[in-house]
Structure 1
Amino acid sequence: MTGELATFTSPVTSVNQSVCIADGSSIPIRSQGDARLSSDITLSSVYHDLSSKKIFGRGYERDGLYYFGDPLPSHVWGPSPVTALSQHRCYVTFIDDYTRCTWVYLMRNKSEVFSHFTHFLQMIKTQYNTVVRNIRSDNGREYITNEFRAELNKCGILQQLTCPYTPEQNGVAERKNRHIMSVVRCLLRGMGVPKHFWHMAVLTATYLINRTPSRVLQGKAPLHILQPTSTLFSIIPRVFGCTCFVQNRSPTRTKLDDKAIRCIFLGYSSMSKGYRCYDLITRYMYHSLDVTFLETVLFFSDSTPSPDPGSEILAADDPIPPRPLPILEPPSSPPTPTDSLPPFASQDPSPRAQNPLPVSSPESGMSPPLVSDIPPPRYPTRVDSISIPRSVHEALQNPLWVSAMKTEMEALQHNRTWDLVALPKGERTVGYAASGIVQVKCGLKKAFDIKDLGPLRYFLGIEVARSRHGISLSQRKYQPAESGELLPDPSIYQRLVGRLIYLTNTRPDLTFAVSIVSQFMHSPRTSHLDAVYYILRYLKSCPGRGLFYKSGVQSGLSCFTDADYAGSKSDRPEYRAMAQGTSEILWLRSLLTELGFSMTDSSYLFCDNKSAIMLSSDSVLHERTKHIEVDIHFIREKVRSGVITPSFVPSYAQTADMFTKSIGPSLLKSSLVKLGLVDIFASA
């Protein structure tokens, strides 16, 4: 039946009939004839609907086939052998057959399928302005109840049931369920999360699967096809089951209470832009974005008690019960010192041993004190009493360090790590001289079958050139260009950007541009690929440019810091950048000291923000700095000790700008000179 008269190849004949369609309504027919769809396909007795011209549905093409009216695969999993903390035992899934997007509803009984299905129909109609035309499921009793079928007839939805014991007929739902449970097992096993949290793992697995590119969808994510303009991850994904600390925003919190609450991360909130974090003590589920994650620290260990399966998780809108105080019982018997304790443990008794706390008794009426059953430490409590030598000569003057060195040498000889022999006559120990390196090479050649390839010239795509002026590192022969026409495959874009990332080892001038294009690795567009081509054209203009290290004595150590924290113009990001720069300076000074280069002069720390420089030099804690984290205030200590000297640098001379923002040609040219980027292969 069609409403287009132009498709008929023969004169239509008048008829007076009606056709009943799927929703139960009747459509009058006025004529019929032969319709030609293509050069080799002709249909006869096609009805012509001239009165209504109603569109009953739209189809789509996939793998050369045309589909009209996608079914809605659905499946119920459960009951689970382990009851969840929320008392759920099963869940139902509804899957869009076209986009493969999945919706999951947790249930305590299978009889809740009908209520979730009606909620799902209303949600689809409101949010996506569409309706469900047919549903596909197995022969479970929850799908064939009278109220379920009545709802289907009311909405005009066709029901497709699989044959008994034939789950392959509902393959989309079965495969999706297998995928969900595979991810759930990985989430629970990866961080040692108890099985009582399987319901949170199911919600997290569905959240991740809907946002993961699929080969069935040509490298796209289900949510990206369903909502092309939406952001796949509005918040940063985290490791399920890790330890996290939620900021305590309770209005009853005092200055003596904890500012953060230790919780376990259990997924992402569906009602707000935040994370789900569960507190085992109060059994409360927090929905918050102010969370600090320790993604490598397991929340559950051997000493952590497992949660009670009979306890329920409190919802986000329930009142938070008070956190109980951890009362530590007194030890049954005081620890007695033994002969295995170090001498300083018995010579320097702790104040607790001198003045023991009174033990409570029912007769005295005293309340039991809060004491710890942890034995006293078996290490020195005063670290400042141990002096660390700064040279071998100073260590040899201290009998304690001499004894420690003898003990270490005896252990090495006992394990036959090496043989200690006398220094041959006329030989010297290996130092920084070139002759020492030659001796090492000769020794290695005698012990192993090796060949001296001479000075380093090429290694892992990095070309090394030497001269009397210095050493140059470049990646001239490492070209990340791709041949052939562009394919609609994100892997081509990913390979290009991956090679550009490796190229930044010797081309720091590409760092900012490559950091921008690397943000679109999973869903690149043509504009992103054009930006990569711009970078490649820039590389073609100077392929031999690389880092050049001048020979001779260098004039101290200096650092340029800059920050572009989401476009913020405040001085806090600049101050944090100075703190990170201070950490790098301390590490480099320590490394140079170990290599034999003494650093006595102060290192300059350049910044283009005068407010941040004043904060680093001002020791007064006023309103502008009281909210800055305490751990970065060590920059002031380094300024007072003379290790670093903060110095202002104008924006036009800021070398670090090229790493945080796009800059003009003039500033780029001057920054290349300051960074030591030289093209030794360019024509003079």
Structure 2
Amino acid sequence: MHNTKETLEYIHSDLWGPSRVPSRGGANYMLTFIDDFSRKVWAFFLKQKSDVFSAFKSWKIMIEKQTGKQIKYLRTDNGLEFCSDEFNRLCKSEGIVRHLTVRHTPQQNGVAERMNRTIMEKVRCMLSNANLPKSFWAEAASTACFLINRSPSVAIEKKTPQEVWSGNPANYSDLKIFGCPAYAHVNNGKLEPRSIKCVFLGYKAGVKGYKLWCPENRKVVISRDVVFDETAMLPNLSLKDSSNKENQKQVEHQINTESTPQVSTKIENRVASSPQYSIAKNRTKREIKPPKKYAEADLVAYALNVAEDIDANQEPSNYSEAISCEDSEKWMFAMQEEMESLHKNKTWDLVKLPKGKKTVRCKWVFKKKEGTPGVEEPKYKARLVAKGYSQVPGVDFTDVFSPVVKHSSIRALLGIVAMHDLELEQLDVKTAFLHGELEEDIYMQQPEGFTVSEKEDYVCLLKKSLYGLKQSARQWYKRFDSFMTSHDFKRSSFDSCVYLKKNNDGSFVYLLLYVDDMLIAAKDKGEIRKVKAQLSEEFEMKDLGPAKKILGMEILRDRKTSKLYLSQKGYIEKLLCRFNMRSAKPVSTPLAAHFRLSSALSPQSDDEIEYMSHVPYSSAVGSLMYAMVCSRPDLSYAVSAVSRYMANPGKEHWKAVQWILRYLRGTTDVCLQFGRTEDGVIGYVDADFAGDLDRRRSLTGYVFTIGGCAISWKATLQTTVALSTTEAEYMAITEACKEAIWLKGLFSELNEDLQISTVFCDSQSAIFLTKDQMFHERTKHIDVRYHFVRDIIARGDIVVSKISTHENPADMMTKSLPITKFEHCLDLVGVHC
């Protein structure tokens, strides 16, 4: 029964999300408010959960101004977005009574939950019927809310929410079919077309106009003068490679297939060979049947959104999809392999759940790895993953940090390998996290599809860590570390993931660990085989032979000339393909001098904000940053510049990112070249005074080489504003000397008797300041931590020397350079094509 007597007396609210696909405006969540009296719904589309409070506040002000009435009751769930301190304070100050649902009882907020489901069911059908990509879900949801508010509801005696809310009957004269072709009037010149073909996306709030999408220029258009063609739909606008016809064939095949019982029988027969498990026999291949009210012509349109994920990705998202898709046998085999591995490792014991204890849920994750066409078959992998987000801190876990080897350490080892012509091989640990010993009692539900017969109510008491648990990485590292130290390996005090062992003949064996990837280097292959044998006795290992690729970096060796090359050609080609820059025109430098980036270039107009919301700026900068960190010191300054505007990038910032991608387009073959050398660690440092146009902070840049090849580099803004060029250079020298001390310590542990590290700087005044122990007026404001370099230099640990600006490769880390100077800097640090 509908008992409320007044508008705004009772408000229902809920947050839907997260969406796998962000909307065109970057939204991941939908926030709804429903007035219990009129059942009118309002929807807000948010980028993150923390935006809920500001959305509620603005909506509350708007609604209360329109009606002259106050919100009395607010019903929500217990989500942190609704229970924050600021949210509670506002409700308390405004006299709003909160009604919160009991945990795990969403039915107590049934009005909002049902409304969200209704909206999203309409969204799926609307997108499917309009052949629009999933990224238009927010526009479809907004239109769905518009229609719901103008549709009769049983809860309000078959009146419409809009009529009950406003007292006036709804106007249906402007309603159009979502996604239909629309021709908007334009006036671009006397000889130009008078209209542009668009797609109808709904109704713009507060504007007497229609919201349209123009596929040609990929922009949203608001227009009143529109002619609609509601008898047709545009072709599929999806960004996927497969055509609409192919999708239709796949869906029709799923609906009309006659092989469903056979597939089901094969699965049951395979499972029957493992008697300890019982799988539900009634799970058969899904048969998608549209409601009777759908015509046969709409069959594909109805089913497309159901089968879209499986057909497009060819990877099931859960167990039910895995056993009902075409490759069900292969996925089932992959799951059985995973279960055998878990039981072999004695990962859990089946026990009754103790009173007061809660279980952690789990799920199956599936991945299909494509093999080489015509040579290697695709690999089907299934992984059982615990849902670690439900773990309680202090109860289910305490510490979670786990170290990984630094990229500088990897390059340092490669330098040593090339210098002494060592053997270099690679190992991989199978199911590495399963080897970690748990220190807490964690109970997990039995895996779906592999419930043990006659023990259905039992749970898994985990003895070993499992993928997905918060502490899995840490427990694996602790187990591996204890194993290595017990076999006479010494852990480096400068990098916790570098291990070394001295042999009887004075030679060394080196091992680097990055989660489950290992690099092993030694003078003799026999020593490497010995270490591999020891590791294989303790862990299940995969021998990858001579090192060829690690962390996306390709390792190439020329033993005749004692050269070793580190490249990211494959990664960069994928990067260019991902951002559609494979056919872009190459440029010669990472960032041209005409780019004067600042926050003043951030979006100002609504059109620019809308444009930038569809640009993958953060993703592109993050991808470039990984290339820079691994093997591309030439990108340091450019990536440092564009990464400052991640929060609010503008068109000019995006052009700078595209420029970097164009530079990569012409330098995919660039690599670091290591070779034989007698030189020690040499550093180069430079600073760009007040290079940041926003806060006038200076930029520190340094690069360290061994044998003329870069092993460590950095380009970053200084933490404080320097008052002079000398001060900026002085602070840069301090940062470089900190890195020099670390590198010198690392190489000394690796048994490399290197000369005293030299750091070259092109500022004579800054060098004098490092040697001057006198305290005077011009240095008293400098932070004490920058003065420690004086003690280091006085002890002779580090030597700071003058170098000509023209011979200082760190110059490219702090500013844009002409092509000739830039190429000379690359030669000085061993970056070659």
Q: Classify the TM-score, shorter chain.
A: 0.3 to 0.5
Higher alpha-carbon Rg: 1
Normalising by structure 2, report the TM-score: 0.32
User: With CA pairs under 8 Å and 6+ residues apart, which has the higher RCO, 1 or 2?
Assistant: 2
Normalising by structure 1, report the TM-score: 0.39
